[in-house]
Amino acid sequence: MGGQRAGRGPWRRPRPEQWAWRGRGRVPAGLAVLVTCLLVCHGAVPDGLPGRPGSLLETFLPWLGLAVPVLAALALLRRSAVAALAALLPAAAWLGLFGGHLLPGEDRAPGLLAVQHNVSDENPDPEGTARALAATRADLLALEELTPAALPRYAAALAPQYPYHAVEGTVGLWSRHPLADVRPVDIRPAGVGEDWNRALRATARTPRGEVAVYVAHLPSLRLSPTHGFGSARRDESAVLLGAAIAAEPVDRLILLGDLNSTVDDRGLDPVTSRTDPPSRDFAFSWPASLPLARIDQVLTRSATVTRIRSLPATGSDHLPVAAHLTWPAPAPGR
């Protein structure tokens, strides 16, 4: 009579080397769906909870892509076809959001080159930092965290190439082109003293027409295990800066500054909603020792940032960023 031998029947288990469609890989598949949802629907993550999880997620959103090789490795380890297919979901979502950042920038010559740099109030070599920035031959240099002791050293080192400059509080603008209508911009959060001045506005008279230039340094964030992502003051300053940009009568506008977050962070919506879409480049600028995010921004209105890139380290804890900008020629009669 002999029955079927063990392992020979139609319901035998798949061998270890076989890939399975059912019964394995449910956890990595579920994680893949979760990561996909966070990438695609990050705006649905609430920000009103303690720690502001929505803003925290959006600040480091590109780094969710690191989950993709981990999920693929788990699918391979479990030999789960479902998990392997699920790992394609966050990969596709990440490429949809950030794939353009991997493409080379446009090669056309910029109408203007602008460099943004938080030089750090603890920079041990202001002259060296100034020389490195001047070597870029940028049209505009925006600096933050200028201390009273270091300011004369930056000014002296930059003067040969930048005959025009303006400083308000701890922020400054150096230009190859004449500056006019310089004034401070009040972005002080509630409860901050009147001596706190971290934004200015100037009109740069470039060969291709006038442009309003804003330099700003929004309040720093605080990350802690107990309070999470502390951005209330930063967000309050962003509202004030956004209102100033909205009221700016000059069509062409450039904002250079340490905004203390990425353009994906909803806390910067009052600013980013009033400027044109930023360049699709990573250009991580902070921290200089291991850059994880671009919190130093170059944003525009009625102009285009064709490329933005981070520059070599200076004596600061930020990397400088350089942006190539273009805009149409002024209309006749203007």
- Looking at the fold, whether 79 and 171 belong to one and the same domain comes out as no
69 belongs to a structural domain:
yes
Would residue 16 count as lying in a domain?
no
Both 49 and 122 in a single domain? no
- Give the count of beta carbons closer than 10 Å to the beta carbon of residue 204: 26
The pLDDT tens digits for 61-71 are: 999 999 999 99
Does some domain include residue 235?
Answer: yes
The greatest distance separating any two alpha carbons of the chain, rounded to the nearest whole angstrom, comes to: 103
* Distances 333 to 68, 180, 329 between C-alpha atoms, Å: 55, 21, 12
- 72 and 124 share one domain: no
- Structure-model confidence comparison of residues 94 and 5, the more confident one: 94
Residues 147 and 93 placed together within one structural domain of the fold = no
Domain termination site, one of 102, 130, 162: 102
Read off the CATH number of the domain in which 183 is found: 3.60.10.10
| Strand, coil or helix: 322 | strand
How does DSSP classify residue 186? -
Residue 124 and residue 47 share a domain? no
> Given a cut of 80, is residue 107 above it in pLDDT?
no
Q: Which of 67, 102, 137 is the last residue of a domain?
A: 102
Of 51, 76, 102, the domain-final residue: 102
The one-letter amino acid at 325: L
Domain count, the chain: 2
User: Which H/E stretch holds residue 112?
Assistant: strand 112-118
The identity of residue 7, as a single letter, is G
Residues 274 and 128 in one domain: yes
Q: Kindly report the pTM of this predicted structure.
A: 0.83
Q: What are phi and psi of 140, to 5 degrees?
A: -130, 135
With bands split at pLDDT 50, 70 and 90, how would you rate the model's confidence at 101? confident
77 and 116 together in one domain: no
| CA distance to 16, 142, 273, per residue, from 213 (Å) | 64, 10, 17
Task: Report yes or no on 17 lying in a domain.
Answer: no
Q: Is residue 333 part of a domain?
A: no
Q: Are residues 302 and 170 in the same domain?
A: yes
Per the structure, the complete domain to which residue 126 belongs is given by 112-326
CB 115 within 8 A of CB 311: yes
Q: Express each pLDDT in 208-245 by its tens digit.
A: 899 999 999 999 987 655 555 678 899 999 999 999 99
